[in-house]
Chains A and B, each alone.
Chain A
Amino acid sequence: MEIQTTEKKKGGFFESLQNGPATDEFIKGLWRENPVFVQVLGMCPTLAVTNSAENALAMGLATLFVLIMSNLLVSSLRNFIPKQVRIATYILIIATCVTVADYAIQAYSLDLHKALGAFIALIVVNCLILGRAEAFASKNTVSKSFWDALGMGLGFTFALLCLGVVREIFGTGTLFGFPVLPGSFQSWIIMILPGGGLFTLAIWLLVFNGAKERKAKKARAL
């Protein structure tokens, strides 16, 4: 597994946002510590439900919801939870949030629930959620945890969308169900098969690595 360099990358746009502590908690999840592209977490939903942009978005938002809920609960209860049963308690809290989300989606649309399949329930075990609860919410204030969850959740959603959009356009010629390519377009079925998910993510990572490498090369040349 790749070891990520820890130095903070200063991008022009993001830099301007990096003022207050809250915005920093928020921004880091979007890019610098992106859960998918950088931390390589929560890979199962990332790969499994991103065969359409809609599913990706729904999954992202569901995760975002659970992440915020659990981060809020954990950080507000953090002084109340004894250390020995910490993990068990967090799991309890997360499972509750997920169950809530699960029923909410079922109530909203059965079809969507069917498309996401077991992966809604599997948010419980998304390493990202427990990871944030442990690494962040259990040590930080409620407001900080909120921003952290929002940033991480949006970062996750963003990454899912990156995959979902590419896979849907290539795989079916549509975007959010609307045709974006001419009817004669030959869809690449692989993109909506399991293998396609792996390939797409691999290619995204290749692109990012390539960009990083080029930047590093430029920096060295200077």
Chain B
Amino acid sequence: MLIIISIAALGGLTLLLATMLIVANKKLHVEEDPRIDIVEDMLPHANCGACGFPGCRPFAESLVNGGSLPGKCTVSSEEGRVEIAQFLGVDVGAAEKQVARLACAGGTNVARNRAQYQGLQTCQAASLVSGGGKDCFWGCLGLADCEVVCDFDAITMNGFSIPVVNEDKCTACGDCVEVCPKDLFSIQPESNRLWVACKNLDAGDEILEGCQVGCTACARCEMDAPGNLITMKNNLPVIDYSQNHNTQVPIQRCPTGAIVWLDKKKGVIKGEKSKKIIRKGERRIATT
């Protein structure tokens, strides 16, 4: 008797509910991005809210429209997350490796401060106070905003407070380009090895008082470079990388070493004529 009652009750209940759900599913259906359903399917349906969303479906919606990453779901397995990522993922086209390059070499050993900046120890803040107190208005302030912003640990400050990019780690994300208040970084193809490491728009030997490795706009590199590989603009040499620039000739007569060759193995190579810099701080280079 009990068995019959309960089977009838539960059978009836389920029948009723199934009908309701199925009818409702048809009648009340709302059009949506079909990918949401697929992604929701891939999620564990724990509806636990651990992702910060009120449930799996809203999270799936956010995944589909790019608002979140699958890793937020703590419940899903590793494979599940990869699966979702692959389903939604768009391949990044392969291109030549690009890296961030710094257009300044004026570390504390060669460049002088006109005034002593005090205040928030970030380059962005300092640059708003008389440009940061460095004699060369365009030069690196050395307060390491770029080092902090780089998510990939690709930048370290050397012993003279100049950032050094580890080209292997750099992903060319451009964060450092954006953060530097002096606009010293740019993203360059790795093969651009001829490089002007200065942004000083002044000309003449006066600038050497502020920074010994600054470009004095003497234009020797322009003269020495084959063809019109280099042209002087705004008191700085500009390299036309669309031409064949695989030559170290232009750096040879630079008196300050502002134009350099970045060797993959040997690092920075300066011209023969560039004068030896008189080290001010006797600090060791602290990197690597």
Contact = CB atoms under 8 A, between A and B. Distances in A.
Direct contact of A and B (CB under 8 A): yes
Interface string A23-46: 000001000010000111100000
A87 B18 CA distance: 11
A188 B50 CA distance: 31
Interface in A1-50: 1-4, 6, 8, 28, 33, 38-41
Interface residues of A, number: 23
A9 to B, nearest CB: 12
Nearest to B50: A1
Contact of B45 (A3, A33, A131): A131
Q: Is the interface of A mostly helix, strand, loop or mixed?
A: loop
A135 B21 contact: no
Interface stretch (B69-77, B106-114, B130-138, B141-149): B69-77
A3 B71 contact: yes
A10 to B, nearest CB: 14
A142 interface: no
Contact of B44 (A28, A88, A134): A134
Contacts of B14: 92
The CB with the most chain B CB atoms within 10 A, among A4, A41, A92, A131, is that of A131
A38 B17 CA distance: 36
A39 B17 CA distance: 32
Nearest to A83: B41
Nearest to B37: A83
A205 to B, nearest CB: 13
Contacts of A134: 44-46
A131 B46 contact: yes
A39 B45 contact: no
Nearest to B80: A135
Nearest to B26: A84
B101 interface: no
A131 B44 contact: yes
A41 B46 CA distance: 9
B77 A130 contact: no
Nearest to B76: A135
B242 interface: no
Contacts of B7: none
B17 A130 contact: no
Contacts, number: 63
Nearest to A138: B45
Interface string A126-139: 01101100110000
Given A3-B74, A130-B45, 18 more contacts: A1-B49, A1-B50, A1-B51, A3-B71, A3-B72, A4-B74, A33-B77, A40-B74, A84-B21, A85-B18, A87-B45, A127-B47, A127-B48, A131-B44, A131-B45, A134-B44, A135-B43, A135-B46
Contacts of A2: 74
21 contacts: A1-B49, A1-B74, A3-B72, A3-B74, A4-B74, A6-B71, A33-B77, A39-B46, A40-B74, A41-B46, A41-B75, A84-B21, A85-B22, A87-B45, A88-B18, A128-B46, A130-B45, A130-B47, A131-B45, A135-B45, A135-B77
B78 interface: yes
Interface in A135-183: 135
Contacts of A131: 44-46, 48, 75
A38 to B, nearest CB: 7
B17 to A, nearest CB: 6
Given A6-B71, A88-B21, A130 B78 contact: no
B48 A41 contact: yes
Interface of A: 1-4, 6, 8, 28, 33, 38-41, 84-85, 87-88, 92, 127-128, 130-131, 134-135
Contacts of A28: 77
A28 B78 CA distance: 11
Interface in B1-59: 14, 17-18, 21-22, 25, 43-52
A85 B45 CA distance: 14
Nearest to B14: A92
Contacts of B78: 6, 8
Interface in B206-255: none
B81 interface: yes
B120 to A, nearest CB: 27
A124 B55 CA distance: 18
B71 A130 contact: no
Contacts of B25: 84
A85 B80 contact: no
A130 B50 contact: no
B71 A39 contact: no
Contacts of B52: 1
